Structure 1
Amino acid sequence: MQAGIHPEYRDVVFVDTTTGAKFLAGSTVKTDATVEFEGETYPMVRVETSSDSHPFYTGKAKFTQADGAVDKFNKKYGLK
C-alpha cells in the first residue's frame, strides 16, 4: 500500500439518539466526543436512525402502496 493516502480506521461507538442503543464498529469518522462502552473509552458518534430504530428492521414498516396495488389487481383480474 502507498503510505500517507489511506484513512486511519479505529473503533467507534455509534449511539442511536432515538433508542439509546450503542454499536461498536470500525470507522474513519472524526469526532471529539467519547463514551464508555464495555469497560473501555471509545470515540462516539450520534446517529438519528439505526437498525435498532428503523421501521424496516423493527417490523413496523407499512407497505400501504403495495397493498393497494395488490387489491386493485385482484379486483380487476382475480377469480370470480
Structure 2
Amino acid sequence: MKQGIHPDYQKVVFMDSATGAKFLAGSTLKPSETIDYEGNTYPLVRVEVSSDSHPFYTGKQKFAQADGRIEKFNKKYGLKK
C-alpha cells in the first residue's frame, strides 16, 4: 500500500439524539466533543437516526399499499359494478 494516502481511523462513540443509545465504531471523523464510554474517553458524534430509532429496525414502519400496476389501473379505470 502507498504511504500517506489512507485516512487515520480512530474509535468514535456515535450517540442517537432521539433515544440516547450509544455505540462504538471506527471512523475518520474528528469531532471536538468527547464522552466517557465503558471506562475510556472517546470522541463523540451525535446522529439523528440510528438502528435504535429508525422505524425499519424498531418494527414501527408503515407499509404503503402494495398493489401492482394492473390492480391500480383496474381500481381507477376498471368496469363499474
Identity of aligned residues (%): 65
Q: State the SS of the aligned residue for 1:57.
A: helix
How far apart are 1:41 and its partner, in Å?
Answer: 0.3
What residue is the counterpart of 2:79 in the other structure? none
**CA–CA distance in structure 2, aligned partners of residues 24 and 7 of structure 1:** 18
**CA–CA distance in structure 2, aligned partners of residues 37 and 53 of structure 1:** 20
Q: Structure 2 stretches of 5 or more lacking a match? A: 75-81
**CA–CA distance in structure 2, aligned partners of residues 10 and 55 of structure 1:** 29
**CA–CA distance in structure 2, aligned partners of residues 16 and 25 of structure 1:** 13
Q: Which structure has the greater CA radius of gyration?
A: 2
How far apart are 1:17 and its partner, in Å?
Answer: 0.1
Q: Structure 1 stretches of 5 or more lacking a match? A: none
CA deviation vs aligned residue, 1:10-48 (integer Å, no higher than 9, x gap)? 100000000000010001011111011001000000000
What residue is the counterpart of 1:25 in the other structure? 25
What residue is the counterpart of 2:2 in the other structure? 2
How far apart are 1:2 and its partner, in Å?
Answer: 1.0
- Residues paired across the two proteins, number: 71
The TM-score, its normalising length taken from structure 1, stands at 0.81
